[in-house]
Amino acid sequence: VDAATDVGNAVVDGANTVAGAVTDGTGLIGDALTDAYNQAADKVSFVANTVINTVEQAVAILINGFDFSAGCPHWVWPSLGVSNTDITIGFGRQMCEVVLVGQRLTLFDFNWGTLTVPFPAPIAAMVAMGSN
């Protein structure tokens, strides 16, 4: 009985070792593919090594495994500033990106910059008198 227990434990230990070393999900479908993906240490390599040739396989990985997000984190509205000597126009910035399996992809990044225009001398003199 002890020998049978030892053999059984060896089989279980071997199965656990193999399960922890999942490197691809080729041929798996549904929950089996999702479970294999979740057990994989390197998710990007798992997907790269897996032959995905059915919609069911693609959906199983996309829905249950991929970290997907999108947003526009750097959005600066246009602005207008006036000082005693000039006027400054900030045209703003619009930047949007997507993140898929930890990979960040910038969709666009428009930084329109600013423009500072000094007042002509007669207007600068009037502004200076008005601010005193």
pLDDT in tens, 55-105: 887 777 777 666 678 899 888 999 999 988 999 999 999 999 998 777 889
pLDDT at 16 over 60: no
Percent of the chain with pLDDT over 70: 79
Using 50, 70 and 90 to split pLDDT, how confident is the model at 106? very high
Q: Whole-angstrom Cα distance, residue 90 to residue 79? A: 5
pLDDT at 50 over 50: yes
Token pair in block for residue 71: 């947003």
Nearest to 87 by CA among 120, 129, 132: 120
Most confident stretch, 21-25, 51-55, 78-82: 78-82
pLDDT at 15 over 50: no
Q: Model-level pTM? A: 0.47
Predicted local confidence at residue 12, as pLDDT: 45
The CA–CA distances, whole Å, from 110 to 31, 63, 99, 104, 113 equal 42, 32, 19, 17, 9
Tokens 């390599």 belong to residue = 45
Q: Whole-angstrom Cα distance, residue 125 to residue 123? A: 5
Predicted local confidence at residue 46, as pLDDT: 80
Out of 5-9, 33-37, 83-87, least confident range: 5-9
